Copies of this chain bind each other. A is one copy, B any other.
């Protein structure tokens, strides 16, 4: 087992070893690869996902120019501890993890529930976060966010010939083109053959759903006047935020357009502070 090791060779999504670091009484599993020396980009994963659920086309795409850190938050897959039933605590665990690596400045990417966690990281450790990339996610108390939608419940409750085919429905539209992109994603998703993360245990789903319910519940100053427009609300409420919507895409636009996504977000991450750039 490697603790805090920083391999000298440049690893990829496929070869990066799973490493471990202790913080908050949790043994966090993580993988770290890409071009070192700059501000690392820390990935926060979606509902029931592990480090293996990221798209190598995205992670390795970023890794060409910057260091990438994947991790499992507390209680997820190869990380010890329990999944807290509050997004705030997930955020606190993520902050502890990042600090345990000795990092003082990171870019944070969050996808779906990982986007909730990313927002909490930024709220709780403002100085730690340089830039925030929020993908397929919404604001605290946003419209219709307190529960999985009926469609999502049906999708997650259904059975599939192959379990991975769940993600064809979660991340892609029904169009032929989107489904074809989904199948290509699944091929990339399965590429890492050795040292894959274990699937999450049976405690993860109820805890994550409770956390979503609490964080997503409407509260005073929720934005009820706009339905289904949570990403728009986010873009309007956050300082210096860009929103990019991709064509014919569902929850997994980063998987459907990985090269384009990497280029757009790399531009965002590399932008200097001059206005207009």
Contact = CB atoms under 8 A, between A and B. Distances in A.
B267 A260 contact: yes
Interface in A2-23: none
A243 interface: yes
B232 A247 contact: no
Interface string A226-243: 111100100100111111
Contacts of A256: 275-276
A169 B175 CA distance: 42
Contact of A243 (B239, B245, B271): B245
Given A239-B248, A243-B243, A245-B232, A276 B264 contact: no
A235 B229 contact: no
A243 B240 contact: no
A50 to B, nearest CB: 23
Interface string A196-227: 00000000000000000000000000000111
Interface residues of A, number: 35
Q: How many monomers of this chain does the complex have?
A: 2
A258 interface: yes
A257 interface: yes
A187 interface: no
Interface string A255-266: 011111001100
A135 to B, nearest CB: 14
A148 interface: no
A276 B245 contact: no
Contacts of A241: 245, 247
Contacts of A243: 243-245
Given A181-B275, A225-B227, A257-B277, A235 B264 contact: no
Nearest to A257: B276
A47 interface: no
Contacts of A260: 267, 271, 276-277
21 contacts: A177-B275, A180-B275, A226-B227, A226-B228, A229-B229, A229-B232, A232-B232, A238-B247, A240-B247, A241-B245, A243-B244, A243-B245, A244-B244, A244-B245, A256-B275, A257-B275, A257-B276, A257-B277, A259-B276, A260-B271, A260-B277
Given A229-B229, A244-B245, 10 more contacts: A181-B275, A225-B227, A235-B245, A235-B247, A242-B246, A242-B247, A243-B245, A257-B275, A257-B277, A264-B264
Interface of A: 57, 177, 180-181, 184, 225-229, 232, 235, 238-248, 256-260, 263-264, 267, 271, 275-277
